[in-house]
Structure 1
């Protein structure tokens, strides 16, 4: 009986019909997204053999989200988030189709792939601020919200487990074009799920302020809300200095482990496996649990696992630490996002998430560019070793705040 209640508690957000539809559609789409992401990085690396170009690829694909995320947040707060999300999903599908056509033509250049990746970054700037707050509208019982957010992370990371593994196999057997085409097809699932939803009738809010005033209000709100401000700072530092370790995985696959595209896919999948376990763990955490203390522990786990991953060339052992890094990484980012969303006022949530997108999509591409340059000088293993040290320094720096409720 106790076990049954625990399982029910873990998946309680599925009692919300709209959220169940969203989860199902996004699960398929996210697998395609990870297939495309893996394919783009591998194609660029095999064409250039440059760690710097890997960093530049991430930078180009995500920095536009930083530039336009504030506008995306305003759009999320001013307009129907459901329609905004539907538009971004259709636009993302078109981008994947264009990438597939370009690759199948077999006359593509690196700059063309980077251009299409940049277009996707602009689309994501409007997608993320609409997607996350819309979950609040899908969940009728607000007590289920933390569980829905944790399950959302588990869905993303299950896709991270499956997508790269499939991508590695497809890259070897059929080529990158097939990865991109399958991603385009995967968007059909999420578009159908959105069309089947029955959300409350949208009431247009009167727009009384200019965009500049909305931006100023959002910044003032963050400045005056310490719990959100500190989580944003921690998320930004981790995104800039630690999370870009993913950028160097193609180098590990080809140089350290002497493998191919399938090897790269497997590394991503082990990280995804750890992230999936992390998401299930977070979904099972009781509402009264101290999330800040769990955040502290998993920031340390992330740092230690990166230190050890960087030092082993024996693939099975390295994959254990890769999975452990996925666990720590996902706990870290998910808890930061959960605290930020739960503590945000409903009327400010879109703008808050746009600042979150800036902290993540702004810092991560910059970090990827920096780590690409550093790796070019000192090598990928040494670069990831120092990223592990940095994670531990961040954990120590935020120790007092994260232990404040103990």
Structure 2
């Protein structure tokens, strides 16, 4: 319930916004206190009704237009009976007009506001009081502009939300298309090869007793075919649009700058662009992990700065992403490794025996450290991760 007071609605600001403005009723209350008791007995109940109608109209879209015109009527009543200064109460229905979604209702409410202004100016003969009119003019201009500014702000938020949804849908469709492409390529590339290996293996099994020499030749053919299949897989992987650590560091600069977060290349952890590129598979996995970690910083950390460390260690590679954000929320998300992309990082890094360590301190930020070992065969051939 308490959170709902501060949750922005689709029409406008949070409900708490309406209660904050009730503080300014202190001015008409002060004016009524100085008046005779008879006027107070009439003025205070009407002012209480004004506040109730304002709040109800704020939270009930169906009766909002009706509430606005009732507030207009009470403003005219106060201005006619007591003082033209009560025209400032129009600041209450003004933002409510901006929350109207129907253009005809908006036009009717704006027209009603102009009628209120004209009626008060005419009744108080303000055209003869240039000083009083000059005092009211800026306030009236702001009251007229406020509905349009709120409407523009709501449209901007709606367009932004639609853009985010569109980008997410594009990303989802792109992933599905990439999966289908990989599936087709694997089927077309490896289907025939694996079928051939199966057939030759079955043939070699049958020939072992009858014709050992022919069976040995079939086994050699299987070996050659399997090497060809391995080469095809490598070509397929290299043909993908692989993500690299260097590319993701450049991308991180852009996304962090757009979010107002300062990027630092952390020298203490080896943020070095001269680090030799790891094997393509490791480079791809680390790049995807870096992208996920930076995305978490932008979405969840509320940080002002983010430090990215990238370098070699005696035993492998080290990638770190550290922010100065809230820490506590990040710790809760990373606690069991099942949320916020942490589990996805771990699943990827299992392929290369990599590890993810998440450290979060309340109010001091979160650090994600990723280590990948460099494993080489004793024969001096390709590393195990290549």
Q: TM-score range by the shorter chain?
A: under 0.3
- Structure with more relative contact order (C-alpha pairs < 8 Å, separation 6 or more): 1
TM-score by length of 2: 0.20
TM-score by length of 1: 0.19
Which of 1 and 2 has greater Rg? 2
Structure with the higher strand share, 1 or 2: 2
Structure with the higher helix share, 1 or 2: 1
